[in-house]
Amino acid sequence: MNKTYITANNLSKSFEDKEIIKNLSFNINKGDLVKISGSNGAGKSTLLKIIARIYNQDSGEIKIEGKNIKSSSLSKSIVSYSSSDFVFYKDLTVKKNLIFYFNLIGEKNSKELYEKNKRFLNLFEFENFYPQILSNGQKKKMNLFRSLIPSFEIYLIDEPENGLDDQSKTELDEKLKLLSKKNTIIFTSHNSNSLSIYKKTTKEIILWEIYREFFL
pLDDT along the chain (216 residues), means of 10: 86 90 95 91 91 92 90 74 83 96 92 97 97 94 96 94 93 96 92 84 81 49
Three-class SS state of 207 = strand
Query: What's the pLDDT tens digit per position in 158-181?
Result: 999 988 999 999 999 999 999 999
**4-215 domain in CATH 3.90.1580.10?**
no
SS in 3 state form for 11-68?
A: EEEEECCEEEEEEEEEEEECCCEEEEEECCCCCHHHHHHHHCCCCCCCEEEEEECCEE
pLDDT at position 194: 81
pLDDT at position 92: 96
pLDDT at position 74: 65
